[in-house]
């Protein structure tokens, strides 16, 4: 079964149409990249999936179960998805120790946790994202941007998601730090079998991490396909335009290559 299926999705904010007729499919354990210029509707798609943007038409299914609407089945389905955002500074409460933020993430599992089990789980999650678990009591201000982004990933993982949506998670980070976050996501995908919808306006980053890519423009998808095939022979002029900024074609580049100006 497909982990996440978006079918003919439209998102409207009042009279304004932000997304129209978008379909997308994410198989278990895979990464699909969603790329497009600013304002093309990428975040609207992500937010609609987790119930933060209004779905005006279409369906969203998680493991075959519709995640649209207010019914408890749909709400349960949405809990299987975790969204991580761009800004690691505002994502964590500055007055809350990072361990407590990660612990909050376990609520999405819907299970009861004893104090001790939760404490152990928080340590395990911090280790998983390569943050020293002995620092669980420190405030976010004591960590770098890259570390904070990894802590927000730990908090998302605490909900034991089936699908992780990463919306511009590396955009606010230095290039040198971007690769540590990207490599962490690849590692988690491998070890946990996560399915990832990876959103970015940066084609180099999307290319590095995605098995498949969908290109968005003006609220719609202009083309999609396996990453290397699509980028080697884009059929849409807009994809070609996006590719103009990326130096090497025809194979999956190392991140260092993609980061070279
Ligand atoms: N809450 C909102 N209310 C009204 N309009 C919105 C809202 N959120 C987004 N929009 C509009 O919807 C369109 C798509 O925005 P969206 O944020 O989905 O694009 P994006 O591809 O994520 O852009 P970016 O790369 O800048 O993050 C834009 O025209 C935007 O102004
Ligand atoms: Mg966005």
> What's the CATH code of the domain at 42?
3.40.50.300
**Same domain, yes or no: 174 and 255:** yes
- The H-or-E segment that residue 208 falls in is helix 203-209
pLDDT digits (tens, 9 = 90+) for 173-227: 888 888 889 999 999 999 999 999 999 988 889 999 999 999 999 999 999 999 9
**Same domain, yes or no: 118 and 146:** yes
CB 32 within 8 A of CB 185: no
Q: How far is the CA of 41 from the centre of ligand 1 (A)?
A: 6
Choose the final residue of a domain: 160, 182, 216. 160
247 to each of 1, 171, 243, how far by Cα in Å?
36, 19, 8
- Residue whose CA is closest, atom 17 of ligand 1? 43
**Same domain, yes or no: 56 and 119:** no
| This model's pTM is above 0.75 | yes
The closest-lying atom of ligand 1 relative to the alpha carbon of residue 47 is 18
Phi, psi (degrees; rounded to nearest 5) at 73:
-65, -40
**Same domain, yes or no: 244 and 177:** yes
**Same domain, yes or no: 53 and 175:** yes
**Same domain, yes or no: 148 and 176:** no
Between CA 136 and CA 258 the distance in angstroms is 34
Between CA 74 and CA 72 the distance in angstroms is 5
Between CA 39 and CA 131 the distance in angstroms is 34
**Same domain, yes or no: 23 and 108:** no
- Residues lining ion ligand 2 (Cβ < 5 A) are 43
Provide residues with CB under 6 Å of ligand 1: 13, 16, 18, 36, 38-44, 201
**Same domain, yes or no: 253 and 170:** yes
pLDDT digits (tens, 9 = 90+) for 129-158: 999 999 999 999 999 989 999 999 999 999
**Same domain, yes or no: 11 and 74:** yes
Pocket test for ligand 1, best of 15, 17, 44 (most atoms within 8 A of CB): 44
**Same domain, yes or no: 238 and 207:** yes
Residues 6+ apart with CB under 8 A from 4: 24, 25, 26, 49, 60, 61, 62, 81, 163, 195, 197
Instruction: Determine, yes or no, domain membership for 51.
Output: yes
* Buried residues in 30-65 as b, exposed as e (16+ CB within 10 A): bbbbbbbeeebbbbbbbbbbbbebebeebebbbeee
Would you call 166 helix, strand, or coil by DSSP? strand
Question: 41 pLDDT exceeds 60?
Answer: yes
The closest-lying atom of ligand 1 relative to the alpha carbon of residue 44 is 18
Domain extent for 129: 92-160
Lowest mean pLDDT among 82-91, 112-121, 158-167, 245-254: 245-254
**Same domain, yes or no: 178 and 250:** yes
Residue 248: the pLDDT is 46
Would you call 251 helix, strand, or coil by DSSP? coil
**Same domain, yes or no: 217 and 104:** no
Instruction: Determine, yes or no, domain membership for 45.
Output: yes
């Amino acid at each position: 079964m497909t982990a996440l299926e978006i079918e003919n999705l439209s998102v409207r904010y009042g009279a304004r149409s932000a997304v129209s007729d978008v379909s997308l499919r994410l198989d278990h354990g895979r990464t699909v990249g969603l790329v497009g210029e600013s304002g093309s509707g990428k975040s609207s798609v992500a937010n609609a999936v987790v119930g933060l943007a209004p779905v005006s038409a279409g369906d969203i299914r998680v493991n075959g179960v519709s995640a649209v609407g207010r019914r408890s089945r749909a709400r349960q389905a949405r809990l299987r998805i975790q969204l991580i955002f761009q800004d690691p500074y505002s994502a964590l409460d500055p007055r809350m120790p990072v361990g407590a933020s990660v612990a909050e993430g376990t609520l999405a599992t819907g299970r009861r946790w004893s104090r001790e089990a939760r404490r152990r789980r928080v340590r395990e999650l911090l280790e998983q994202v390569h943050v020293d678990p002995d620092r669980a009591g420190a405030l976010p201000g004591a960590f770098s941007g890259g570390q904070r982004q990894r802590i927000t990933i730990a908090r998302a993982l605490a909900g034991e998601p089936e699908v992780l949506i990463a919306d511009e998670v590396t955009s606010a980070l230095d290039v040198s730090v971007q690769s540590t976050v990207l490599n962490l996501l690849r590692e988690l995908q491998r070890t946990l079998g996560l399915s990832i919808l990876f959103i970015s306006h940066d084609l180099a980053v999307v290319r590095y991490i995605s098995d498949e890519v969908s290109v968005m423009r003006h609220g719609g998808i202009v083309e999609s396909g396996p990453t290397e095939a699509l980028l080697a022979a884009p059929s849409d002029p807009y994809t070609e335009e996006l590719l103009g900024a990326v130096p090497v074609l025809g194979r999956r580049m190392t991140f260092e290559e993609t980061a070279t100006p």
